[in-house]
């Protein structure tokens, strides 16, 4: 737990050790209406089952099927801005992209992934809390399905994403390719420059992205249904502990049919090359 009076470790250092963005400690949900929180929870659960639904179809489902009297603009704001969702189908609103940012080509088409740290995929997801919400970012090794690194925050700042991926590189070494969507955080200069400075190729999902980042989206579904929906976290520190507990199970004990009914750790930890003891300046 975070000890704000710790004599030896600053709050910043403690947050770093716990993979918690410092802002997560001071999260105050008072400006989030109860209606928006309820709508976000419904959208999140429905999206996990129907990821092809964009904001327009989500609004139709909420109003026509569930009877909520909410505007299309409200649902679009929650869907795109608060939850950073996008439909897996091609269309004009498949990602909240900043048109001024440079995007990179999709490099995984017909690529054979044969070893750990060849390709990583990263993404951000909304996490419902007992009172409010936060965000979880993770990077997954596509060969082994191993969740390599993760962090939590109460905002989706590009700087947080850049710091997160640099930490992942420092701890686990660098992949040959990092795959992301075209969200504003991942196309930002601070994020792309961090990745490219480590000589990692950037791959970005394009239109027809139905299976581009499927592995990490399956992980989101697993952690929410198997842990976080059942036991909603109270705050950032509680979220950290719940994610940490689930990830040990997911990486080391949970068997995956797509990799021969083995836990991801058996393919990642025991197969990947060693991380260099020091990095070039």
C-alpha to C-alpha distance for 200 and 95, rounded to whole angstroms: 23
Q: What is the mean pLDDT of the segment spanning 154-166?
A: 94
Domains assigned to the chain: 11-82 (no CATH), 119-268 (3.30.420.10)
Q: What is the mean pLDDT of the segment spanning 163-172?
A: 96
**pLDDT 10s digits, 169-212:** 999 999 999 999 888 999 999 999 999 999 999 999 865 455 55
pTM check: above 0.85: no
C-alpha to C-alpha distance for 110 and 92, rounded to whole angstroms: 25
Q: For residues 123, 128, 134 and 138, what is the CA-based torsion angle, rounded to 10 degrees?
A: -30
C-alpha to C-alpha distance for 34 and 9, rounded to whole angstroms: 36
**pLDDT 10s digits, 52-103:** 899 999 999 999 999 999 999 999 999 998 898 888 765 444 345 556 678 8
Q: Which residues of 108-127 are buried (b: 16+ CB within 10 A; e: fewer)?
A: beeeeeeebbbbbbbbbbbb
Q: Which residues of 207-238 are buried (b: 16+ CB within 10 A; e: fewer)?
A: eebeebbebbbebbebbbeebbeeebbebbbe
Residue 169, phi then psi, degrees to nearest 5? -65, -45
C-alpha to C-alpha distance for 197 and 244, rounded to whole angstroms: 29
Tell me, what's the pLDDT at 235? 85
Q: What is the mean pLDDT of the segment spanning 16-38?
A: 65
95-99, 118-122, 197-201, 243-247: the lowest-pLDDT one: 95-99
Handedness of CA 212, 42, 97, 116 (dihedral sign): negative
Tell me, what's the pLDDT at 221? 93
Tell me, what's the pLDDT at 197? 98
C-alpha to C-alpha distance for 229 and 86, rounded to whole angstroms: 21
C-alpha to C-alpha distance for 117 and 25, rounded to whole angstroms: 32
Tell me, what's the pLDDT at 87? 81
Q: What is the mean pLDDT of the segment spanning 214-239?
A: 91
Longest dimension (CA), the chain: 59
Residues 6+ apart with CB under 8 A from 267: 116, 143, 144, 145, 146, 259
Q: What average pLDDT does the structure give for the chain?
A: 84
Instruction: Count how many Cα atoms sit within 13 Å of the Cα of residue 255 in the half-sphere of its side chain.
Output: 4
* pLDDT tops 80 at residue 11: no
Burial class from Cβ neighbours inside 10 Å (0-12, 13-18, 19+) for residue 270 reads: exposed
């Amino acid at each position: 737990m975070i000890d704000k009076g710790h004599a030896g470790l600053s709050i910043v250092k403690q947050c770093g050790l716990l993979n918690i963005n410092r802002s997560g400690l001071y999260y105050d949900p008072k400006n989030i209406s109860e209606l928006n929180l309820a709508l976000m929870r419904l959208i999140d659960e429905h999206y996990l089952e129907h990821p092809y639904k964009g904001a327009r179809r989500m609004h139709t489902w909420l109003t026509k099927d569930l009877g909520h009297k909410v505007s299309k603009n409200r649902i679009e704001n929650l869907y795109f801005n608060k939850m950073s969702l996008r439909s897996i189908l091609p269309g004009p609103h498949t990602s909240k992209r900043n048109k001024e940012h440079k995007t990179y080509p999709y490099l995984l088409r017909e690529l054979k992934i044969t070893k750990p740290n060849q390709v990583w995929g990263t993404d951000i997801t909304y996490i419902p809390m007992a009172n409010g919400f936060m965000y979880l970012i993770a990077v997954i090794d596509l060969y082994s399905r191993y969740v390599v690194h993760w962090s939590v925050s109460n905002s989706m700042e590009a700087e947080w994403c850049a710091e997160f991926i640099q930490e992942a590189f420092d701890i686990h070494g660098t992949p040959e390719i990092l795959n992301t969507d075209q969200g504003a955080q991942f196309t930002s200069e601070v994020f792309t420059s961090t990745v490219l400075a480590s000589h990692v190729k950037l791959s970005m999902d394009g239109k027809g992205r139905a299976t581009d980042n499927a592995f990490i989206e399956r992980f989101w579904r697993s952690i929410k249904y198997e842990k976080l929906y059942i036991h909603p976290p109270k705050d950032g520190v509680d979220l950290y502990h719940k994610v940490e507990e689930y990830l040990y199970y997911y990486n080391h004990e949970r068997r995956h049919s797509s990799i021969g009914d083995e836990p991801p750790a058996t393919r990642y930890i025991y197969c990947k090359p060693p991380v260099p003891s020091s990095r070039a300046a």
